[in-house]
A and B are shown apart, each in its own frame.
Chain A
Amino acid sequence: MQERIKRIYVPMTETGFYILYCLREEMHGYNIGQRVGQMTGGEVNISPGTMYGTLSKMEKDGLIRFVREEEKRKLYVITELGWEVLNIELHRIERLYKNSKGEYVYGG
Chain B
Amino acid sequence: MADRVLLRFMTVTDYEEEEQFLREQHKEGWKLCKYWLPGFYFFDQCEPEDVVYRLDFEQADQCGKTEYLQLYYDYGWEYLFEVNGFTYFRKQAGSEEEEPEIFSDNESRIEMVERVFRRRMIPLLIVFFTCVVPQLVIQFFNWQGGNTSAKGFVIFFTVFFFLYLYLFIHCGQKIRWLKRKYMKE
B67 in contact (CB, < 8 A): yes
- In the complex, are the beta carbons of A13 and B66 less than 8 A apart? no
- In the complex, are the beta carbons of A47 and B75 less than 8 A apart? yes
B108 in contact (CB, < 8 A): yes
Chain A: interface residue total (CB-CB under 8 A): 23
Chain A residue numbers with a CB within 8 Å of B156 are: none
- In the complex, are the beta carbons of B71 and A51 less than 8 A apart? yes
Most A Cβ at <10 Å: residue of B54, B107, B108: B108
| B124 vs chain A, min Cβ distance (A) | 24
| A39 vs chain B, min Cβ distance (A) | 15
- In the complex, are the beta carbons of A47 and B68 less than 8 A apart? no
- In the complex, are the beta carbons of B67 and A49 less than 8 A apart? no
- In the complex, are the beta carbons of B104 and A45 less than 8 A apart? yes
Knowing A13-B105, A47-B103, say if A74 contacts B59 (CB, 8 Å).
no
- In the complex, are the beta carbons of B75 and A48 less than 8 A apart? yes
| B103 vs chain A, min Cβ distance (A) | 5
- In the complex, are the beta carbons of B102 and A47 less than 8 A apart? yes
A101 in contact (CB, < 8 A): no
- Which single residue of chain A is at the shortest CB-CB distance from B75? A48
Most A Cβ at <10 Å: residue of B60, B70, B112: B70
* A43-54 interface bits toward B, Cβ cutoff 8 Å, 1 = contact, 0 = none: 001111111111
The binding surface of chain A is classed by DSSP as helix
- In the complex, are the beta carbons of B71 and A53 less than 8 A apart? no
- In the complex, are the beta carbons of B66 and A49 less than 8 A apart? no
Chain B residue numbers with a CB within 8 Å of A82 are: none
B47 in contact (CB, < 8 A): no
Q: Using CB atoms and an 8 Å cutoff, list the residues of chain B in contact with chain A.
A: 54, 56, 59-60, 64, 66-68, 70-72, 74-75, 77, 98, 101-105, 107-108, 111-112
A–B pairs, 22, beta carbons within 8 Å: A14-B105, A28-B71, A30-B74, A45-B98, A45-B104, A47-B101, A47-B102, A47-B104, A48-B74, A48-B75, A48-B77, A49-B102, A49-B103, A49-B112, A50-B105, A50-B107, A50-B108, A52-B60, A52-B71, A56-B64, A72-B66, A73-B67
- Which 7 pairs between the two chains have the least Cβ-Cβ distance? A30-B74, A49-B102, A47-B104, A50-B108, A72-B70, A48-B75, A50-B104
